[in-house]
Homo-oligomer: A and B are copies of this chain.
Amino acid sequence: MKIAIIGGGAIGLLFSYYLGQTHQVTLYTRTKGQADLINREGLTIVDGDKTVCQSIEVKQVEHWDGSDDITFITVKEHQLSSIISMINQQSKKIGSLFFLQNGMGHLKWLPETRAESIYLGSIEHGAARVKGHIASHNGHGVTRVAVYKGSDNLLRELLATTTSGFPFAFEQDYEEMLVKKLIVNLVINPLTAAFQVTNGTLLTNPFYYKVALQVFDEAAKVLNIHNKEEHWLNVLSVCKQTSTNRSSMLKDIEAGRKTEVDAILGYLLEESRAKQISVPVIRNYFNLIKGKEFQRGGD
Binding site for B on A (CB under 8 A): 194-195, 197, 201, 205-208, 210-211, 214, 218, 280-281, 283-284, 287-288, 290-292, 294-295
Q: Chain B residues with Cβ under 8 A from A201's Cβ?
A: 295
* Alpha-carbon separation in the docked complex, A292 to B195 (Å): 8
* Alpha-carbon separation in the docked complex, A206 to B294 (Å): 8
Contact (Cβ within 8 A) A287 B194: no
Q: List 17 A-B contacts (CB under 8 A).
A: A194-B194, A195-B288, A195-B292, A195-B295, A205-B294, A207-B290, A208-B287, A208-B288, A208-B291, A210-B287, A211-B287, A211-B288, A211-B291, A214-B287, A218-B280, A280-B280, A281-B281
> How many chain copies does the complex carry?
2
* Alpha-carbon separation in the docked complex, A294 to B208 (Å): 9
Contact (Cβ within 8 A) B284 A205: no
Q: Chain B residues with Cβ under 8 A from A280's Cβ?
A: 214, 218, 280-281
Q: Chain B residues with Cβ under 8 A from A205's Cβ?
A: 291, 294-295
* Alpha-carbon separation in the docked complex, A210 to B205 (Å): 27
User: A195-B292, A281-B284, A284-B284 known; 11 other A-B pairs, CB under 8 Å?
Assistant: A194-B194, A195-B291, A205-B291, A205-B294, A207-B294, A208-B287, A208-B291, A210-B287, A214-B283, A280-B280, A281-B281
Query: Quick one: which of B197, B206, B291 contacts A207, CB cutoff 8 A?
Result: B291
Q: Chain B residues with Cβ under 8 A from A197's Cβ?
A: 295
* Alpha-carbon separation in the docked complex, A284 to B209 (Å): 11
Q: Which residue of B lies closest to A285 (CB)?
A: B284
Q: Which residue of B lies closest to A195 (CB)?
A: B291
Q: Which residue of B lies closest to A293 (CB)?
A: B207
Q: Which residue of B lies closest to A292 (CB)?
A: B195
* Alpha-carbon separation in the docked complex, A218 to B291 (Å): 20
Q: Chain B residues with Cβ under 8 A from A206's Cβ?
A: 294
Q: Chain B residues with Cβ under 8 A from A207's Cβ?
A: 287-288, 290-291, 294
* Alpha-carbon separation in the docked complex, A90 to B290 (Å): 55
* Alpha-carbon separation in the docked complex, A287 to B195 (Å): 11
Contact (Cβ within 8 A) A211 B284: yes
* Alpha-carbon separation in the docked complex, A47 to B208 (Å): 39
* Alpha-carbon separation in the docked complex, A284 to B282 (Å): 10
Q: Chain B residues with Cβ under 8 A from A291's Cβ?
A: 195, 205, 207-208, 211
* Alpha-carbon separation in the docked complex, A295 to B207 (Å): 10
A37 to chain B, nearest CB (A): 35
